[in-house]
Amino acid sequence: MTTNTAGSSARDYGKGMVHYIRKNVTYANNGTAVKVGTLPAGAQIIKPMSGVGINVAFNAGSTNVLDIGTSGTGDLYATDLALGTIGFVPIDEVVSNKMAADTDIYATVQLTGTTATAGDAEVIIAYAPNY
């Protein structure tokens, strides 16, 4: 039945299992808040499974870091995660509250010094929906 009411853009599979949102970022995203996805109201981020997987090390001359947060607080979940070495870096901020409403998650690459010519990573946010 059509309701003419816009649905949520949050990802919810309707099952009691771990969900995730994932977004690729590169050195070309420097300084831009990239939307990773939308968490549904009531979701709880699973800290050890969330973070950034670096596939190609970022190579700016001075700083190669990433923040993860919301539009209101860009580093709410992760502050200055190191992007200079291949591997997985988990989020580093305390995650103890449920999403009060559907919440957009953003990642911002911050590079300084000599201009980067390489860098590729996947931001992954694992969460448990509210069931």
CA distances from 9 to 3, 41, 76, 80, 108 (A): 16, 11, 21, 28, 21
Contact 32, 116 (CB under 8 A): no
**In Å, what is the CA distance from 32 to each residue of 107, 109, 120?**
8, 7, 15
Evaluate whether residue 54 is within a structural domain.
yes
Residue 3 lies in a domain: no
Spatial distance between the Cα atoms of 83 and 64, rounded to a whole number of angstroms: 5
- For residue 15, what pLDDT is reported? 67
With respect to residue 98, please indicate whether it lies within any of the assigned structural domains. yes
pTM: 0.87
Q: Where are the alpha helices (DSSP H) in the chain?
A: none
- Residue 13: inside a domain: no
In-domain check, residue 2? no
Q: How many domains does the chain have?
A: 1
Residue 28 dihedral angles phi and psi, to the nearest 5°: -70, -15
pLDDT tens-digit series, residues 74-108: 999 999 999 999 999 999 997 667 899 999 999 99
Indicate whether 12 belongs to any domain. no
Domain annotation covers residue 11: no
Q: Tell me, what's the pLDDT at 9?
A: 64
pLDDT at 23: 98
Whether 6 maps to a domain, the answer reads no
Q: Which domain holds residue 106?
A: 19-125
Averages of pLDDT over runs of 10 residues in the chain (131 residues) are 55 75 98 97 92 98 97 95 98 83 96 98 94 73
